[in-house]
Structure 1
Amino acid sequence: MRTDYHNHLERGSLTLEYLKQFTDEAAKKGIQHFGISEHAYHFYQTKDILSNPWVEERRYYDMKDYVDLFKEAWNHGIDVKMSIEMDYTPGKHAEMKRFIDTYDFDYVIGSIHWVDDFGIDLKEFLHEWDRRDVNEVYEKYFDQVVTLAQSNLFDIVGHLDLVKIFKYVPGDEEFLMKQYERATDALASSKTCVEISTAGLRKPVGELYPDERLLSLCFQKNIPIVLSSDAHIPGDVGADYDQAIALAEKVGYSSLMTFQKGERKEVPLK
């Protein structure tokens, strides 16, 4: 069984023609469970959740058009899951829940891209890494992983250790493992699954999300997984899944979680 639950249309258009390029690629690569999870910040309906100058320049979608696209796809017999990738925003739990509950998502991804006003994975903010204390950024990032899990609003946490994207990693392994431990403790007490994402292989860090040590803790604490590519172009759908599956099996996983209209089902990895 293969899943690819984390994909974006933002570099193209909210049209059936463009969506089909993704679903056709998924079919070609043998992915049985495929979903689109556009960034929530693109939609006017999330303005009360996350707003900053970088985001406001990129807020140009309406959720009605998004939902209508999926209805059109389903009417054409295309099996695609409807999701959203929401920037987890501390202090906005009520607003996030209201937005999530408004739409009939198959599943919802929660991700952390911002530490206060610092866009940790954005090239526009790359210079900030050299001005900040890396340990402090990591601690604040994993503070949010903990409260994301505790909110129990999300089915999947996206790219769990995205914070490593530009290769800025604490030199103190004991400190780093402490962050991993508290994050996985919180996730284990929630409904949130972890994605093994191949996107990191296409980023400066050049490795999968999450780190093997972090994924091993997930396995030890019975946190379910999904596979995701975080494709922003059709050709990246299901990219490098041989490496993702190898890592999953190496740490002990033999199953994946699948989703449909909020319902989850565990299926064999092979």
Structure 2
Amino acid sequence: MLTDYHNHLERGTLTLDYLKKFTDEAKRKNIEHFGISEHAYHFYQTADILSNPWVDERRFYDMNDYTSLFQEAEKAGIDVKMSIEMDYTPGKHEEMERFIRQYDFDYVIGSIHWVDDFGIDLKEFIHEWDKRDVYDTYRKYFDQVVTLAESNLFDIIGHLDLVKIFNYVPEKEEFLLEQYDRAAAALSKSKTCVEISTAGLRKPTGKLYPDERLLKMCYEKGVPIVLSSDAHQPEDVGANYDQALALAKETGYETIVTFSKGERTVVPIG
């Protein structure tokens, strides 16, 4: 059994024809559980959750059009899960919960892309890494991982250690392992699964998310997993899944989680 729950249509259109390019690729790669999780900041309905100049320029979707696409897909016999990838935003728990509850999502992904006003994974902000203290940025990032887990709003946390994307990593392993441990501990007390994401292999880090040491801590604390590619174009659906599966099995995982209308099922890993 394989999942690919983290995928985006933003480079194309919210149309059945474009969606079908993704679902066809998933079928070709024997991915039985496939979902689209568009970035929540693209939607007008999330303006009260996350707003900054970078985000506001990219708010161009309406949730009515998004939900209609999945209704069309269902009528056409296309098996695709409806999700959203929401930027976890400290201080906005009520607004995030209100938004999530308005829609019939199969699952919801929570991700951290912002540390204060710093877009940690954006090329437009890469110069900021040299201006900031890497230890402070990592500590603040993992502070958010902890509070994201504690919120219990999300079914999956996206690319758990995205903060390593541009290869700015603290030199002190003890510090890094401390961040990993508190993240895994918080996730173990929540409903939130961790995705093994192949997206990092297509980024400057050149590595899977999460780090194998972090994933091992998650396994030891009983945190379940899903598999994701974070595809932004059809051909990346299920990309490099051989590496994701190898990491999962080397870590000790024998099962993954599937979702439907918020309900989860534990199944043997593919």
Q: TM-score range by the shorter chain?
A: over 0.9
Deviation at 1:204, TM superposition (A): 0.1
- What count of residue pairs does the alignment treat as equivalent? 270
Look up the match of 1:203. 203
Deviations 1:111-146 (A, max 9, x none): 000000000000000000000000000000000000
Deviations 1:68-98 (A, max 9, x none): 0000000000000000000000000000000
Look up the match of 2:175. 175
Counterparts in 2 of 1:238-249, with a 5 A limit? 238-249=238-249
Look up the match of 1:81. 81
Look up the match of 2:60. 60
CA distance in 2, matches of 1:72, 1:236: 24
Look up the match of 2:114. 114
Counterparts in 2 of 1:152-171, with a 5 A limit? 152-171=152-171
SS in 2 for 1:267: strand
Look up the match of 1:30. 30
CA distance in 1, matches of 2:86, 2:92: 12
CA distance in 2, matches of 1:98, 1:165: 31
Deviation at 1:36, TM superposition (A): 0.1
CA distance in 1, matches of 2:218, 2:75: 38
1:194 paired to 2:204: no
Counterparts in 2 of 1:89-108, with a 5 A limit? 89-108=89-108
SS in 1 for 2:142: helix
Q: Which runs of 5+ in 1 are unaligned?
A: none
Deviation at 1:161, TM superposition (A): 0.0
TM-score by length of 1: 1.00
CA distance in 2, matches of 1:251, 1:193: 15
CA distance in 1, matches of 2:184, 2:227: 18
Q: RMSD of the alignment, in Å? A: 0.3
Deviations 1:152-206 (A, max 9, x none): 0000000000000000000000000000000011000000000000000000000
CA distance in 2, matches of 1:269, 1:68: 32
Look up the match of 2:135. 135
CA distance in 1, matches of 2:260, 2:169: 36
Q: Match of 1:96, as an amino acid? A: M
Deviation at 1:249, TM superposition (A): 0.3
1:259 paired to 2:259: yes
SS in 1 for 2:175: helix
SS in 2 for 1:194: strand
Runs of 4+ in 1 over 6 A off after TM superposition: none
Counterparts in 2 of 1:217-256, with a 5 A limit? 217-256=217-256
SS in 1 for 2:181: helix
SS in 1 for 2:137: helix
Q: Match of 1:86, as an amino acid? A: M
SS in 1 for 2:104: coil
Deviation at 1:250, TM superposition (A): 0.4
